[in-house]
C-alpha cells in the first residue's frame, strides 16, 4: 500500500502556490511509490480560479491541519453487535477477533453501549438469582443458541420466560414443592420428573444429553402449553451454560460511555485515555455510526502524516500542525526561514521568479513531460509570479522554462497573460477584507511580527476609493493578530510601481526601509513590484538595525 503524501503550498495561496502543488503532485505520482495528493490551505483567488478553469484542472483539496486524527490511524475494524446477542456469542466473538470489547448498536446502528470481557466474566462470577432469565428478558432463540438445543415442542405464544430455573435432581416430592407454573426445568430422561413438570405447567423443560419424551407426554405438554427443548449437554453443563443466554444489553456498559469521533485529534484523546483505564474505546463516524475501536497501542504505533512543502519554507505560512507531521521535501524560491526537520530531506531552493519554474525543470531533468493541462497551469504561475518578467525576481531560467512549457500547453503567452491579469486583478465588488487577505503573508523577527499583503492591478488608482476602509481593516487585523505592522502593497503592473499602505505601532519601518515618508499611512514607490525581493529584504534590514 502506497504512503499518502500531501503536497501543499502556503496559507492564503497565490497562483504559484496552487499550481506548483498540483504539478509536483503529478510528478511524484508519475515517478514515485507514493500517493501524492495536492492540497491547499485557503480559498483560491480570482486569478488562480481563472487559471484552473481555463485549463480544466480541478482545485486541490482544502485542508486545515495535518495533525493526526483518529481516522488517520489503522484502528481495529470491529463489527458492532446487537444488544440481543447472548453473552456466550459475545465471548466467542471476542475470542475469535482477539479483542477485549465489542461495541453494541441500536436499530439505527448508533452506539448504545460496550460489552467487554470483564462484563462477561463478572456475570459468570456473580451469583445471579434463579429468575435471571425473566429479568433479562431472555428469548427462546437465545436459549436454543446457547444450549445448542433442538426444539422438540414449541409454544409459540411464549417469547420469554419469567419463572425460576430449577434442576430436577432430587425426589419428586421435593421437586413438587419447588416447581411453580411458568418455571424453567432442567431434567434428564426420568419420565416421572418430566410428567411432574408438565403437570405443574412449567413454561420450559430442557431435557439433557439429547434425550426426548414419549409421544404421550409430548401431547400432554402441548395441551399444557409447555415448550420442550433437547440439549446435547449434561445436566451440570446445561445449568452452567443457561445463564450465558442472557443478552449483552443486560450487562453492557452504557452509563458515562467514553468513545471518540473519527474526527478527534490524537493529542486530545491521549489525555482521555491517560485518565481512564479501558483496554479499548469505540470510534464513531461523523454520522454517529461505529467505525471500530481504538486502544493505546494505536497511539503508540500511529504514523505521522507526510507532507511536501512547495513555495514556502516558513512555519508561520505553513499548514497548522506541521510540527506533528513528517516533512519529506521542500521546493521553494523564497528566503530560507524557520522550518526545521528531524532528518535530512530533499530541499531545493533556487533564486528564480517562481516555484513553478523549479517544478517544471524537475520534470524536464527526469526526462518527463508534464501533461498538457499541468504545463498550462505552470505557464500561468510563472507569468503570475514574475508579472510577465516585469518583476526583478524574473530570471532567464524563468523565460526559457516558460517558452518550453508554452509549446507543450499550446498557448500564446502574451494574449493569455493579458486575459489572466485583467480577470485576476479586477477589484470590482471586493471588500477590504477580501483585498487584504487575498495574498497575505506573515513574517516573524524575534519580537516583531509583520504581516504583508500584496495586490496586483491593471489600474491601481481605482483602489484609492477604498483606502480608508482598507486602513480600518488593517488596523483591526494588526490589533487582533498582535502584529507590530501590517502593510498592503498595491502594485500597478503597467506603471511598474506600488502604493504601500502601512498601519501598526511600528509602521515607520516603511520609512526606514525605503527612505521615504508615509503620508496618511501610505506612500507610492516607483519600481517596487516584488514583495519577496524588493520589500521583505529592506524591511528585514530595517528591523535588524
pLDDT tens digits, one per residue of 478-506: 999 999 999 999 998 888 899 999 999 99
Quote the pLDDT of residue 322. Answer: 93
Measured distance CA(516)–CA(507) in Å, rounded: 12
- Distance between CA atoms of residues 158 and 147, nearest Å: 18
Grid cell in block for residue 486: 501590517
As a whole number, mean pLDDT of residues 350-361 equals: 97
Question: Which of 50-64, 171-185, 314-328 bottoms out in mean pLDDT, i.e. has the lowest?
Answer: 171-185
What span, in angstroms and rounded, lies between the C-alpha atoms of 534 and 537?
6
pLDDT tens track for 268-293 = 998 898 888 888 899 999 888 998 89
3-class DSSP assignment, residue 519 = strand
The Cα–Cα gap between 399 and 205 comes to 93
Is pLDDT at 1 greater than 60 in this prediction? no
Identify the pLDDT of residue 277. 80
**Secondary structure (DSSP) of 47-106:** HHHHHHHHTT-PPPEE-SB---BGGGS--B-PPPB-TTSBHHHHHHHHHHHT-SEEEEE-
Cα separation, 471 vs 478, whole angstroms? 10
CA dihedral 131, 134, 136, 137 (to 10 degrees): 170
> How does strand 101-105 pair with strand 111-116?
antiparallel
337-362 average pLDDT score: 94
Residue 127 has pLDDT above 70, yes or no: no
Q: Is 8 helix (H, G, I), strand (E, B) or coil?
A: strand
Alpha helical stretches, state H, 387-466 = 396-409, 413-424, 432-437
Mean pLDDT of 512-526: 94
Residue 461: predicted pLDDT: 64
CA 55, CA 28: separation in Å to the nearest integer?
Answer: 20
Point out which residues pair with 247 in neighbouring strands: 86
Residue 400 in this model has a pLDDT that exceeds 90: yes
Between 518 and 422, the more confident residue is 518
Could you tell me if 282 and 114 are in contact, meaning their C-beta atoms sit under 8 angstroms apart? yes
Query: pLDDT digits over 219-251, tens only?
Result: 999 999 999 999 999 999 999 899 899 999 998
Query: Which pLDDT belongs to residue 452?
Result: 96
pLDDT surpasses 80 at 429: no
CA distances to 71, 72, 74, 114 from 297, rounded to whole Å, are 15, 14, 10, 19
Decide if pLDDT at 98 tops 90: no
* All three cell numbers of 207: 431435557
Q: Give percent of the chain with pLDDT exceeding 70.
A: 98
**Computed over its alpha carbons, how large is the radius of gyration of the chain?**
37
Residue 19's pLDDT is 98
Dump strand ranges (E) for 128-253.
Answer: 150-153, 165-167, 184-187, 204-207, 227-230
Residues 6+ apart with CB under 8 A from 529: 387, 390, 391, 392, 491, 493, 496, 497, 498
| The three three-digit cell numbers of residue 295, written as one number | 486502544
| Arithmetic mean of pLDDT over the chain | 91
Query: Are the beta carbons of 423 and 46 closer than 8 angstroms?
Result: yes
Return the sign of the alpha-carbon dihedral for residues 503, 436, 356, 494: negative
User: Would strands 346-349 and 61-62 be described as parallel, antiparallel, or unpaired?
Assistant: unpaired
**Phi, psi (rounded to 5 degrees) for 493:** -60, -40
Q: Which residues are registered as beta bridge partners of 105? A: 111
> What is this structure's pTM?
0.69
Amino acid at each position: 500500500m502506497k504512503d499518502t503524501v500531501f503536497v501543499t503550498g502556503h496559507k492564503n495561496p497565490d497562483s504559484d502556490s496552487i499550481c506548483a502543488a498540483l504539478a509536483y503532485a503529478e510528478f511524484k505520482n508519475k515517478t514515485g511509490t507514493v500517493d501524492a495528493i495536492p492540497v491547499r490551505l485557503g480559498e483560491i483567488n480570482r486569478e488562480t480560479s481563472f487559471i484552473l478553469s481555463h485549463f480544466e484542472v480541478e482545485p486541490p483539496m482544502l485542508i486545515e491541519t495535518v495533525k493526526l486524527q483518529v481516522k488517520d490511524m489503522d484502528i481495529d475494524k470491529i463489527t458492532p453487535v446487537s444488544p440481543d446477542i447472548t453473552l456466550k456469542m459475545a465471548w466467542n466473538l471476542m475470542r475469535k477477533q482477539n479483542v477485549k470489547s465489542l461495541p453494541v448498536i441500536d436499530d439505527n446502528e448508533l452506539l448504545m453501549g460496550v460489552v467487554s470481557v470483564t462484563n462477561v466474566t463478572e456475570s459468570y462470577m456473580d451469583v445471579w438469582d434463579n429468575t435471571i432469565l425473566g429479568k433479562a428478558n431472555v428469548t427462546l432463540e437465545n436459549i436454543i443458541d446457547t444450549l445448542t438445543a433442538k426444539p422438540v415442542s414449541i409454544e409459540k405464544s411464549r417469547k420469554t420466560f419469567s419463572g425460576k430455573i430449577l434442576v430436577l435432581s432430587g425426589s419428586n416430592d421435593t421437586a413438587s414443592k419447588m416447581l411453580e407454573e411458568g418455571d424453567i426445568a432442567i431434567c434428564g430422561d426420568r419420565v416421572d420428573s418430566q410428567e411432574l413438570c408438565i403437570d405443574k405447567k412449567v413454561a420450559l423443560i430442557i431435557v439433557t444429553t439429547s434425550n426426548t419424551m414419549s409421544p404421550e407426554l409430548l401431547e400432554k405438554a402441548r395441551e399444557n402449553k409447555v415448550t420442550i427443548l433437547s440439549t446435547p449437554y449434561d445436566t451440570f453443563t446445561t445449568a452452567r451454560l443457561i445463564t450465558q443466554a442472557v443478552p449483552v444489553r443486560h450487562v453492557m456498559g452504557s452509563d458515562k460511555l467514553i468513545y471518540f469521533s473519527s474526527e478527534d485529534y490524537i493529542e486530545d484523546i491521549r489525555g482521555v485515555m491517560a485518565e481512564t483505564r479501558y483496554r479499548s474505546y469505540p470510534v464513531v463516524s461523523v454520522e454517529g455510526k461505529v467505525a471500530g475501536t481504538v486502544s493505546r497501542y494505536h497511539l503508540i504505533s500511529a504514523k505521522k502524516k507526510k507532507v511536501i512543502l512547495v513555495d514556502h519554507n516558513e512555519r508561520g505560512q505553513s499548514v497548522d500542525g506541521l510540527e506533528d507531521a513528517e516533512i519529506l521535501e521542500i521546493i521553494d524560491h523564497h528566503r530560507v526561514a524557520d522550518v526545521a526537520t528531524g532528518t535530512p530531506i530533499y530541499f531545493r531552493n533556487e533564486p528564480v521568479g517562481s516555484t513553478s519554474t523549479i517544478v517544471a525543470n524537475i520534470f524536464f531533468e527526469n526526462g518527463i513531460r508534464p501533461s498538457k493541462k499541468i504545463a498550462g497551469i505552470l505557464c500561468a504561475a510563472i507569468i503570475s509570479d514574475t508579472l510577465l518578467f516585469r518583476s526583478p525576481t524574473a530570471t532567464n531560467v524563468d523565460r526559457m522554462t516558460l517558452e518550453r512549457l508554452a509549446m507543450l500547453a499550446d498557448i500564446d503567452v502574451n494574449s493569455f497573460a493579458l486575459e489572466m491579469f485583467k480577470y485576476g486583478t479586477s477589484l470590482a465588488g471586493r471588500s477590504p477584507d477580501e483585498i487584504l487577505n487575498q495574498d497575505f503573508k506573515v513574517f516573524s523577527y524575534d519580537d516583531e511580527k509583520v504581516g504583508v499583503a500584496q495586490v496586483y492591478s491593471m489600474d491601481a488608482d481605482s483602489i484609492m476609493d477604498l483606502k480608508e476602509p482598507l486602513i480600518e481593516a488593517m488596523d483591526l487585523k494588526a490589533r487582533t493578530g498582535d502584529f507590530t505592522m501590517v502593510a498592503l502593497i498595491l502594485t500597478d503592473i503597467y506603471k511598474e510601481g506600488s502604493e504601500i499602505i502601512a498601519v501598526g505601532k511600528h509602521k515607520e519601518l516603511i520609512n526606514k526601509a525605503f527612505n521615504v515618508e508615509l503620508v496618511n499611512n501610505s506612500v507610492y514607490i516607483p519600481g517596487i513590484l516584488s514583495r519577496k525581493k524588493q520589500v521583505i529584504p529592506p524591511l528585514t534590514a530595517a528591523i535588524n538595525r
